[in-house]
Structure 1
Amino acid sequence: MSSIDLTKIITAEDKAAAARAAKFSALADLRWQRETGGLDIAGGARIVTTRESQAQIASTVQSISAGLISEPIDWKLASGWQQLSAAEILSIAGAVADHVKRCFAAEKAISVQMDATPGDLSGFDIAAAFDAAYSA
């Protein structure tokens, strides 16, 4: 058995710094989960917002703008297939873009709050703070 005293190696400051870093990592993960976890839009449709879906939506908007595709556009929503107009695709793209923007803005706002909070952040509820910042 070793007689090494680990409290001399891993200080309270090291533990607090590790806990803070873990909270910041958890915040980034929460933002990613919310960003890519889907979006409900008016009318009850659920939009898939994975990174692949975001890219496909953006590509479809470009194709519409360039006149490469015309409506109606067959589109698979989380709730199933629908034929969408160009205006509906553009509306979905706008909603997804706004959703992504709000997710990153919420992460930044919470990160600033966490930076200003001393200690290991053990009492900081990142999910509640994120929800409040996203809704603001």
Structure 2
Amino acid sequence: MSDIEYTYEVVNVDAYAKAMEIAYTSPGRQTMLIGTRLPYAGESVDVIAKMYAPVAYWREQEAEVVIPELGAFGSSVNGSQSVPVTLDEAKAAKLAEIAAARYEREVSGTVLNGNPVDTDREMQSKIAGAMAAFQAGFITSVDWKFGGTTFVTLTGEQVQAIARAVTQHVQECFTWERFMVERVNAAATVEEVNAIVVEA
């Protein structure tokens, strides 16, 4: 099995939660955003990046499969054999699954006073920009679009309420990911890792 080359970049650091987010990129493969712990004293970022690298996940996605003939059947006494994986590989695959689920949660949106609010990365950036403009006194109101169809003129206080709701939503997603990552890190066997269910 050939090695998988990849690069990584630390894209988010939460010192309070003692966690960071690493973006892994490999040519021709899905870019993965994975939440990890911060390096301990004496550790390098390279060590953490290698520990959480989604290599096992990428390999699983690229594995050749055999399409069974329609109607094929059989019986078994001893059960089917599975491809053995190491604990590190199982953890890396599970962490990649958790990171993907957290991202889907993060960008899925939230609701404020009955209005749907987008929470994707672009919207998070726009909200931060609007907040900065209000605080600098550049604007006193802003036209905002909810749900892709409804326009509303908002004051600075209303934009602040949106920013608070989005920030809380995003933080809840990362809190969930941190909890799940800690469960994976605490697992002592492949079976314990596989027993962790990741709900999208």
With normalisation by structure 2, the TM-score equals 0.53
How many Å separate the matches in 1 of 2:127 and 2:175?
21
In structure 2, what residue type is equivalent to 1:22?
A: A
Structure 1, unpaired ranges of 5+:
1-10, 129-136
Output the aligned Cα RMSD. Answer: 1.8
Query: After the TM superposition, which residues 10-89 of structure 1 pair with which residues of structure 2 at under 5 Å, given as runs?
Result: 12-14=84-86, 16-41=87-112, 43-71=113-141, 73-78=142-147, 80-89=150-159
Give 2:38's aligned residue: none
Instruction: Spell out, residue by residue over 1:25-83, the C-alpha distance to the aligned partner (whole angstroms, 9 max, x if none).
Output: 01011111111111112x21111011010000000000001110112x21011252112
How many Å separate the matches in 1 of 2:94 and 2:151?
39
Structure 2, unpaired ranges of 5+:
1-82
Which stretch of structure 1 is more off in the superposition, 92-101 or 60-69?
Answer: 92-101
1 or 2, which has the higher strand percentage? 2
Answer yes or no: is 1:91 the counterpart of 2:161.
Answer: yes
SS of equivalent residue, structure 1 residue 111: helix
Which stretch of structure 1 is more off in the superposition, 16-25 or 83-92?
Answer: 16-25
The Cα of 1:13 is off from its aligned counterpart by 4.5
Give 1:110's aligned residue: 180
SS of equivalent residue, structure 1 residue 74: strand
How many Å separate the matches in 2 of 1:45 and 1:114?
36
1 or 2, which has the higher helix percentage? 1
Give 1:122's aligned residue: 194
Aligned length: 115
Report runs of 4+ in structure 1 exceeding 4 Å deviation: none
SS of equivalent residue, structure 1 residue 68: coil
